[in-house]
Amino acid sequence: MAIKLFVDATADLQSKFLREHPEIVVIDTPIIVNSKTDSMQFDNLTPDDFQRIDRDYSPKKGYRITTSSPTILDPDLEIEGSVATLAYQAVKAGYAVLYLAMGSGMSGTYFHAKLCFDELREEYLIPKYQLQAVDSRCMSTGTAMLVNELYENFDFEALNDVAPVVDYIEKYRDHIMHFFTWTNLDYIVKSGRVSAIKGAAAKFLRLLPIGAAVYTGEDMRTLETVTSLNSPRNLNRFADIVGEYIERHLVTPDSPITVAYANNPDAGYYLAMLLGSRLPRAQIIDGYRLSSAIQAHGGPTSLHVNFHADVTPTLEEMTAEISQIISTL
């Protein structure tokens, strides 16, 4: 028995990695565009497709771009492509199925997947070791980093029980650190994700915010801006601040650091170069693209940085340390 790994499209795995691992099933996250009078759904979009969505249905034109949860629950297995149907088909074909769902602090995907798999196990007498959902407590390229670590530690074709993989995820998922910023705040201001006052102030002062994904409760992960007026004024400053934090907490000096961009490749590669210069022993992995689903929330100028840390800080601890770094640079 081998394991099929289900992941959300928001996991932002590289295309090459997916081609090398056909046992990974990517669950689409639909894009929803709302106007005052209409609602449209777009499925199976590539990262480049978001440029068209943003052009035609920009928040500047009064549209609201967001995402919808995938189709998970399907008690009668009647919906082609539903998670329930895909999982049942995989189990009947002799596979074990593990769904690494988007972090529960940002999405209801994990809870729906858990309910779905509980129902499938009860209805069809499927053992838990063959069908399970687990909360990644991650988002975007943080989930991609976790998946890469899984494949470094497990042979999915040889396993017949998902339990060891689940144990690994639950042990290390909180160590995946996630920083992010934007090279332009227009999208997140127009979409209402940042207030107009804060956006105008940041634009006037030419500030580049530092954000982080940090757990604030047992099962919650939330997005917070960890600095305000002390934010870096350009990517060089961002790389200095985040690079110093990474240098202090990277689990080993030669561990990987991923850098991802939305639709601003020059900024992504430049940030990767800056971090590589500061952390020459680390494996800087660039070229990651942020999915349309992630861009729907963060916009086309988002930049993400991930690494495996030796700590699991609270928001307050991270804020204090970032502030201390800023004061010394």
What are the backbone angles phi and psi of residue 212, rounded to the nearest 5°?
A: -150, 150
Positions in the chain whose pLDDT score sits under 50: 219-221, 223, 228-229
Position 115 scores a pLDDT of: 96
Instruction: Kindly give the pairing relationship between strand 96-101 and strand 176-182.
Output: unpaired
Total of domains in the chain:
2
Residue pLDDT, tens place only, 192-227: 777 777 777 777 777 778 888 876 555 444 545 555
User: From residue 136, how far is each of 38, 66, 115 by CA, in Å?
Assistant: 34, 21, 16
Position 300 scores a pLDDT of: 93
Q: Are residues 22 and 118 in the same domain?
A: yes
Q: Indicate the residue among 140, 173, 206 that finishes a domain.
A: 173
Q: How far apart are CA 285 and CA 279, in angstroms?
A: 12
Position 229 scores a pLDDT of: 41
User: From residue 43, how far is each of 46, 53, 105, 316 by CA, in Å?
Assistant: 9, 12, 24, 38
Q: Are residues 148 and 258 in the same domain?
A: no
Q: Are residues 260 and 113 in the same domain?
A: no
Q: Are residues 97 and 218 in the same domain?
A: no
In terms of residue numbers, what domain contains 277? Answer: 174-328
Q: Indicate the residue among 173, 207, 226 that finishes a domain.
A: 173
CATH number, position 48: 3.40.50.10170
Q: Are residues 284 and 300 in the same domain?
A: yes
Q: Indicate the residue among 173, 188, 204 that finishes a domain.
A: 173
Q: Are residues 162 and 248 in the same domain?
A: no
Position 103 scores a pLDDT of: 79
Q: Are residues 155 and 224 in the same domain?
A: no
Burial (CB count <10 Å: 0-12, 13-18, 19+), residue 255? middle
Q: Are residues 132 and 96 in the same domain?
A: yes
Position 216 scores a pLDDT of: 58
Position 271 scores a pLDDT of: 96
Q: Are residues 108 and 142 in the same domain?
A: yes
CATH number, position 233: 3.30.1180.10
Q: Are residues 114 and 197 in the same domain?
A: no
**Helices 235-249 & 265-278, crossing angle to 10 degrees?**
50
Residue pLDDT, tens place only, 226-252: 554 455 668 898 999 999 999 999 999
Q: Are residues 31 and 143 in the same domain?
A: yes
Q: Are residues 61 and 207 in the same domain?
A: no
